[in-house]
Amino acid sequence: NAGVTQTPKFRVLKTGQSMTLLCAQDMNHEYMYWYRQDPGMGLRLIHYSVGEGTTAKGEVPDGYNVSRLKKQNFLLGLESAAPSQTSVYFCASSYSGLPSYNEQFFGPGTRLTVL
């Protein structure tokens, strides 16, 4: 099993450009998450999904959109990138059955730079 994979690994954008980050998991997890991590800091939740076709806002959702059209994929979109969105983005997934303690499995991250 590949676990959680993210595409791409690195990306450089110019201000105003758009892009989509792809997250895929092969563990049949219901829950998926997008976080951002800024230098020397912990993770902040951007958006999450509790199942196919559902999404919800996290702590820092502004400037981002997400879609969960398939259970195994969770897409994060930046419509008009800004330098403040320079960060490392992590996707995670977790099992929702019982017992469920929300242990999360993380992808390797996408390093995004916005010039």
Residues 45, 61: contact at Cβ < 8 Å? Answer: no
End-to-end CA distance of the chain: 36
- Site track for other proteins across 62-101, x = CB under 8 A: ----------------------------x-x--------x
Q: Output the CA–CA distances (angstroms, integers) from residue 24 to 9, 33, 75, 90, in the order listed.
A: 13, 11, 9, 12
Which position among 25, 36, 107, 114 is part of the footprint of other proteins (CB under 8 A)? 107
Which position among 4, 21, 23, 75 is part of the footprint of other proteins (CB under 8 A)? 4
Residue with tokens 């559902």: 54
Q: Specify the pairing of strand 110-114 against strand 10-13.
A: parallel
Structure tokens at 54: 């559902």
Binding of other proteins at residue 61 (CB under 8 A)? no
Q: How far is the CB of 113 from other proteins (least distance, A)?
A: 15
Q: Closer CB to other proteins, residue 31 or residue 64?
A: 31
The site for other proteins (CB under 8 A) is made up of 4, 31, 33, 35, 40-45, 48, 50, 56, 58-59, 90, 92, 101-109
